[in-house]
Chain A
Amino acid sequence: MRILFYGRLADVFGMELDLDAETGSSIADVRQRLAIEHPGSAADFMGKRVVACVGGSVVRDDYVIGDNDAIEFLPPVSGG
């Protein structure tokens, strides 16, 4: 499973990570796994302000990840 990170999350994980995950995993499963494997980022993945996107759209935590989906995790955004 391909995961892309932006902003400060990319500082921690790199821009891209290949994660072995079981078929039928949800966004919540991936969040939990990243939080466990990287305790320093647990608050980000278990909180609401880091959003997950698939195919350019924000997806909820119960979204079941398809075989060809790439997940993008976006930390809080700020323009201006």
Chain B
Amino acid sequence: MSIVARLARDKLEPEQELAALLDEADGDGAIVSFAGVARSRSAAGRAVVSLVLEHHPTLTQQSLDDIAASATERFEVSHVRIVHRCGAIAPGEAIVFAGAASPHRRAAFEAADFLMDRLKTEAVFWKREVLEDGSSWIEPTQSDYDDRERWG
């Protein structure tokens, strides 16, 4: 069993994180991973300059640790890896990597899905979308909260 939950201040490379998870998962038959990438257009269709993720000095890391640990308690997974960016992220760059390894594919799929639903609503970040003429805060939608509620 291994848990990695890391706050990344520099560029996040999902390929490297997947390679690390594959190494850790030696012997497991199922690896599922998700990469979230900064969009180039806002919900209103405007060009995005950057996405800024502000974080808390202690609670952000604690939230990543808690979410990763809860996935290992809930699903039959042997390895969980979360890496989450903070700071200014350019369109096309990765925001988050979430992956799980398991002897069985269903558990790995469910764990990755669970990780993302929790991260969307409970990871301690505040997201600001910067456009050419200003910026706006992005908070979870009702759909994000509904997705989170599926897990009880």
Contact = CB atoms under 8 A, between A and B. Distances in A.
Given A6-B54, A6-B56, A56-B62, A80 B139 contact: no
B95 to A, nearest CB: 7
A8 interface: yes
Contacts of B122: 77, 79
A76 interface: yes
B125 A78 contact: yes
Interface majority SS on B: helix, strand, loop or mixed? mixed
A77 B125 contact: yes
A76 B122 CA distance: 9
A79 B119 contact: yes
B144 A78 contact: yes
Interface string A1-24: 000001110000000000000000
A11 B63 CA distance: 23
Given A7-B137, A8-B137, A77 B58 contact: no
Which of A6, A56, A75, A77 has its CB near the most chain B CB atoms (within 10 A)? A77
A53 interface: yes
Contacts of A56: 58-59, 62
Contact of B36 (A6, A53, A75, A80): A80
A80 B62 contact: no
B123 interface: yes
A34 interface: no
A29 to B, nearest CB: 23
A64 interface: no
B120 A80 contact: yes
Contacts of A53: 59
Contact of A79 (B58, B62, B96, B137): B96
B138 interface: yes
A80 B130 CA distance: 17
Given A6-B126, A7-B126, A78 B140 contact: yes
Contact of A77 (B96, B116, B123, B128): B123
A80 B56 contact: no
Interface string A60-74: 000000000000101
